[in-house]
Structures are given as structure tokens and as C-alpha cells.
Amino acid sequence: MATELHNLSDYDPTKVPSGKGRRIAVVYSEWNQEITYALRDGAINTLIANGTEEENIERFSVPGSFELIYGASRLVKSDKYDAIIAIGCVIRGDTPHFDYICEGVTAGLSNLNVTGNTPVIFGLITTNNLEQAQERSGGRLGNKGDECAVTALHMIAQFGK
């Protein structure tokens, strides 16, 4: 569903599984931190609002979105977490760099989901400009971090760890 037609922060809390007793890692990019910190905070606040104890949420920063792959991979291999939320933001520029980063991160995180035993939630937003990123990180379209947290709780409840 297109984000323009759906607020990323809209969810029915009565249909979200509890995060009580669950351990969740949030790995986030330092690049575009105005956006990624808002996404990270949205995810953490939503996890807490749905029962995850704050001490069971661990935060890990990486320099850029491409490094989310390595960070998430290390967290999967640690086998300490019920889910991992990977958060980044890539804003289109004047070169093909945007395409390479977006394709690489998508493939890398997808591979972790196929080969690992821990759900890795895709929280990479890819936009044409800063305004679109702001709209998706707490602006008029909600916060993708909220959506990632809800997704993590659903994946844990559905498939366990």
C-alpha cells in the first residue's frame, strides 16, 4: 500500500502482540540522523507502549545505511534477540549511488531473513528528497519506526524464536 494512502503510525493497539519479555535490537544508521534518530525513537517508543521492557531493547549505531547489513548480521549471529529492526534513510541525489545503496541494503537484509532464525525488520526509507523523509519520520505520514516495531512484534508472535 502506498504511504500516501496510509499513515505509518496507524495501528490498532488491541491487535498488536505484547512485547513483554522479548529482546529486540534496533540497529540504525548515523547518516541522515535527523531522520534515523526519529525513526529509531518511534520504534523504541512503540515497543515500550506495547509491553517491551526498555532494558530489553538494545540500540546499535552504524555509520551508514549500507552498514546496516553487517550490523544486523552480527546481531542475528549472536542469537540474543527475538527480532532486529534495521533503520536507515537514503535520499536520492544526483548520482547512481542511491540505487546501489538501496539495492544492496535490500538484498543484504532480505538474505538475513531467508538464511537466519531471527526476523530482521526492514526500516530503510528511500525518498526523493528530505521533505519526503521528514513526512515518514514523524511528519504528516506518521513514523516508519512505529510500523517497524509493530511488524517486529507480529513476526515474533507468529513465528517465535
Looking up residue 126, the CATH number of its domain turns out to be 3.40.50.960
Q: Show the cell assigned to 7.
A: 499513515
State the Cα–Cα distance between residues 56 and 59, nearest whole angstrom: 10
26 found inside a domain: no
6 is catalytic: no
Neighbours of 78 (CB within 10 A): 11
pTM reported for the whole predicted model: 0.94
71 found inside a domain: yes
As for how many domains the chain has, the answer is 1
State the Cα–Cα distance between residues 146 and 42, nearest whole angstrom: 5
Q: Output phi, psi for 27, to 5 deg.
A: -105, 130
Q: Which residue among the candidates 59, 97, 107, 111 is catalytic per the annotation? A: 97
Q: Provide the domain limits for residue 111.
A: 32-159
Task: For Cα atoms 3, 158, 29, give the angle at the middle one, nearest 5 degrees.
Answer: 50
Query: What are 39-84's pLDDT values in tens digits?
Result: 999 999 999 999 999 999 999 999 999 999 999 999 999 999 999 9
